[in-house]
Chain A
């Protein structure tokens, strides 16, 4: 199969970008989307052109490095998978595919399809942790955690920090990302001592980084490669209100 790609090219954050059109060499439908881009890049390099810069690393959907908006959807056509787990069999021979970077003010473009997601690290540094020193921990089984709470915490903790939720949101809100971390710790007994402080600080950091407000349209959940549920945003709102009332 062959496809036509319209790819966003932008030399750096300051320079304007534009779409370039590339016709791919012959492809195997069992290729991953990123392997297709590898092939296109090999072809560009061989023809003396500069290959397309795109982020990727583990290529098994867990590191959260890959991004891309494919035909208008962050991480491409399928629910619950990242771009690196999207395969060319999802497209038809002769399709035109539009490939763009994640677009959000807090995620400036670095080059071509690569954006900076440093703002997520900033939010994590504001409170996305439990303050325990190495070596001071009690025996692991001294603190029983009910299985349903542990399971739900794990559902939240599955977030890979890719930023698709932000890219999909019309307000570029980071609520799904923040809610996942806040919920994970709020559900566990270990997270209780800093429960109020954590949510207030993380929300403040989110606002300061320039992410927009949440209007609960759910586009974040729809594109999340890990199916993080919108319920966690509801929990984040409760946690935030609770912390305000308790004067965390």
Chain B
């Protein structure tokens, strides 16, 4: 199989315009003859469903939540990037493009990223028109803040709740379309399989999470916007129910999985406090605008009251190592730096796995009131969780799994190698390369949903005869439904002794130890022995109580964890094969003497896309070369 990226020809800055003109259109009267399934209602899914509904397509939107407004985009705190240059500080579409490409360690497609930077300006316009209450200056114009990996202020924000406000904006657009009858909303509905008819995605199998009823839904095209797969690690900043099942089961139906090993470990999360912990909480990167990160210079100071440690005994290591970006060094770099100082035994807190994020200077400079205005809700969250007052004592933070840059492989049109299957937002692999910059996830989700899919899906649908979509009595639907029911029964019939949670925890531990912030060949090989063994045990001795014909949260989780086992193995395989360090993928064997990531552009300037071969055969690794016409690949430096 050859992966066709379908990147348009011509100069970078004109590709998208030219492509939009060349894409086939569906005439307005015909649009209502096409049915489109959108799975997920986060930023990408809700914006796509609403916009496709506005255009006149008949849209069915599926979420496992009780309401589309709950999707985990809602938890994004810091902001959304847009190349508006409202600050007159030298920003431009080209600079946002360049920062994003560089931030991704030269492992993303130029054309996709340039388009993302181009439409970023439309996104902010759209959100303002929807009534998103962005932060304003006294003159009434929009305010900006700066974020990691950039030297301009281009991040738009709504206090520490930007994701919430953008999501509620997209949700309100979705509500408008549901009311208008163009979108049908299915809540408490989890997609459990993709239906492929004659090589094209034509439907999904869904379980009603309240009644347990399995249903079939056909459509002319299927759009997956189901988010990332960081919960493979069990402990992460993801919502507890975020999962990989939709994309994983699409993978098992033939959609290639791109760069599964690219995971983002976010540097500023609240450290783990105990074995019972169910999730990790992020402290927004925006805190690094004013907070200073440090650890004691001497190991013996690590247990002392931080306020008693004099200035000369503190190591502000990011400012020391990366003077030009300082505390705003990109996430992968900041996380690894934190890991290094903790590995040296200079970590703080009970576990020794923590560094300080200190606001004393900011409070001195700006006053407590100003700091409260900027970050008050984050300080409150910190207080609730740790019972500590960060206005008085520095916060303790540590890296945690936060985002996955990998995902289903898509071409420039966001269509996977399975025609008719489109993948948006975090669920695809497309725009962030090996590392995502802060405030770019919201940008990508909305870019895909509002401004890319509405054009590109038409190009696919225009080639489909209206009314040609298969009926749900087609044998492919029957087979997919039987597959789903088979998995559910197998899980319920195991009747073993171990809970789903205990397996998930153990898998997460293996992944964190061997496929986390730093990876090496021996560790990955070890993980590739441990994971299949644990998976075997899972299928024999998992204990899933309750029935299939009922609301059954243990069963929901069991199905998701079963998929994590397989996905975890693929992540390790991908990490093993990528014999270089790049962005969030750090192979200990490949580093410079100062510990910085060492890329191998000669052999690895490509996307690895894995194709499923069945349960008993290893997947095949395909390669899409990354061609850089515009920017020169350099060693990423933030010094």
Contact = CB atoms under 8 A, between A and B. Distances in A.
B285 to A, nearest CB: 15
Interface in A96-117: 110-111, 114, 116-117
Nearest to A123: B175
Nearest to A80: B380
B541 interface: no
B451 A135 contact: yes
A224 to B, nearest CB: 14
B614 interface: no
B141 A144 contact: yes
Contacts of B50: 134
Interface stretch (B100-108, B270-278, B296-304, B412-420): B270-278
B124 interface: yes
Contacts of A229: none
Given A28-B276, A184-B131, A62 B178 contact: no
A195 B165 CA distance: 20
Interface string B480-499: 00000000000000000101
A60 interface: yes
Interface stretch (B216-224, B394-402, B437-445, B545-553): B545-553
A246 interface: no
A157 B165 contact: yes
A157 B551 contact: no
A5 interface: no
A147 B240 CA distance: 36
B137 A161 contact: no
Contacts of A137: 122, 125-126, 128-129
Interface string B205-227: 00000100000000000000000
B140 A135 contact: no
Given A45-B543, A85-B384, A134-B50, A64 B499 contact: no
A147 B551 contact: no
Given A31-B274, A114-B551, A130 B172 contact: yes
B398 to A, nearest CB: 16
Contacts of B501: 38, 42
Interface stretch (B67-75, B335-343, B519-527): B67-75
Contacts of A12: 550-551
A146 B140 CA distance: 4
A130 B277 CA distance: 40
Interface string A134-146: 1111111101111
Contact of A57 (B72, B165, B546): B72
B84 A140 contact: yes
B239 A58 contact: yes
B276 A190 contact: no
B278 A141 contact: no
A140 B322 CA distance: 35
Contacts of A22: none
B175 A59 contact: no
Interface string B161-197: 1011100100111011011000001010000000000
Contact of A58 (B72, B140, B273, B451): B72
A161 B70 CA distance: 9
Contacts of B158: 154, 157
Contacts of B502: 42
A57 B239 contact: yes
B239 A63 contact: yes
Interface in B394-452: 450-451
Interface string A72-99: 0000000011000101010000000000
Nearest to B70: A63
Interface in A161-212: 161, 184-185, 188, 190-191
Interface string B57-98: 000000001111111101100000000101000000000000
Contact of B277 (A35, A65, A138): A35
Given A28-B274, A30-B274, A140-B124, A134 B450 contact: yes
Contacts, number: 215
Interface string B256-294: 000000000000000001101111011000000000000
A59 B279 contact: yes
Interface string A25-66: 000101110110011001001101111010111111111110
Contact of A30 (B175, B273, B553): B273
A120 interface: yes
Contacts of A51: 545, 553-554
B274 A129 contact: no
B140 A63 contact: no
Contact of A65 (B66, B175, B276): B66
B140 A144 contact: yes
Contact of B134 (A121, A130, A150): A150
B66 A116 contact: yes
Nearest to A57: B239
A60 B280 CA distance: 9
B168 A157 contact: yes
Nearest to B546: A50
Contacts of B172: 124, 128-130
Contact of B239 (A59, A80, A116, A184): A59
Given A48-B545, A49-B545, A62 B74 contact: yes
B135 interface: yes
B324 to A, nearest CB: 30
A21 interface: no
B620 interface: no
30 contacts: A28-B274, A35-B277, A35-B278, A42-B502, A46-B499, A50-B545, A53-B553, A57-B70, A57-B72, A59-B279, A63-B72, A64-B69, A65-B65, A65-B66, A80-B380, A87-B387, A110-B551, A111-B210, A118-B187, A132-B173, A140-B142, A147-B136, A150-B140, A153-B133, A154-B133, A154-B158, A154-B165, A157-B132, A160-B164, A188-B133
- What are the nearest 6 A-B pairs in CB distance? A144-B140, A129-B172, A137-B129, A137-B125, A154-B133, A150-B136
Given A141-B86, A157-B168, 18 more contacts: A45-B499, A50-B546, A56-B240, A58-B72, A59-B278, A60-B281, A63-B72, A65-B70, A125-B176, A134-B126, A134-B173, A137-B129, A140-B84, A140-B134, A141-B84, A150-B135, A154-B158, A154-B159
